[in-house]
Copies of this chain bind each other. A is one copy, B any other.
Amino acid sequence: MAATETLTAERILEATEEVLRRHGPAKATVVDVARALGVSHGSVYRHFRTKAALREAVTKRWLDRTSEALCGIAADEDRDPESRLRDWLATLFTAKRRKAGDDPELFATYRVLAAEQGEAVAEHVAELTGQLARIVAAGVASGAFADVEPAATARALFQTTGRFHDPAYAPEWETPEADADFEAAVGLLVRGLRP
């Protein structure tokens, strides 16, 4: 029993992740989370207004972990924009593929969560697109890229590389052609950015 510790939102989120990992998204209940913490489910509702809010918080945490890894690459204004862009896209693809491959069930769980949290995902996509826009803007400023609209181009880059980060395509990431396909797509897009 860790019942000596006070009940915080943080502890609830950790327990919820564990319950989701164990039971999957369809069978994970608030009662399960409370049981895992050794408290009544009413106490969980003191910290999260609804089950949906609890799931949203867990989803946001997970999405934020992805953003952080990429943030560094986007912010590194010293490196040349083209290689930063390639690196950023490759890092995103590799990270997603590793997660999907290492623990497919957990990945599927988060896929379900993301599908029911349209708003949180939209924010996450906006964050990632913003990072891309920063890279594009740097390239336009330095003359490494053609004179494009950074925001619109960032959207286009994110959308055209969807096959390499959208979880719906996870099964394709394991095929032998995946790496070649990724290189071909990125090559074409990067060429399109050059002056």
| Residue contact B168 to A156, C-beta cutoff 8 Å | no
Q: Which of B168, B180, B191 contacts A168 (CB 8 A)?
A: B168
| Residue contact B181 to A159, C-beta cutoff 8 Å | yes
**Taking the nearest CB of chain B, how far is it from the CB of A160, in angstroms?**
4
Mask of A168-195 contacts with B, CB within 8 angstroms, 1/0: 1000000001001100110111111100
Chain A interface bracket (under 10, 10 to 19, 20 to 34, 35 or more):
20 to 34
Task: Jot down 27 A-B pairs with beta carbons below 8 A, ordered by A.
Answer: A152-B180, A152-B184, A153-B188, A155-B177, A155-B181, A155-B184, A156-B181, A156-B184, A156-B185, A156-B187, A156-B188, A157-B188, A159-B163, A159-B181, A159-B185, A160-B161, A160-B163, A160-B185, A160-B188, A160-B189, A168-B168, A188-B189, A188-B193, A189-B189, A189-B192, A190-B192, A192-B193
Q: Is the interface of A mostly helix, strand, loop or mixed?
A: helix
* Chain A residues numbered 144-160 whose CB sits less than 8 Å from any CB in chain B: 146, 152-153, 155-157, 159-160
**Taking the nearest CB of chain B, how far is it from the CB of A177, in angstroms?**
8
Question: Which of A156, A161, A162 counts the most B-chain CB atoms under 10 A from its CB?
Answer: A156
Known: A153-B188, A160-B161. 8 other contacts (CB 8 A): A155-B181, A156-B184, A157-B188, A159-B163, A160-B160, A160-B163, A162-B163, A191-B193
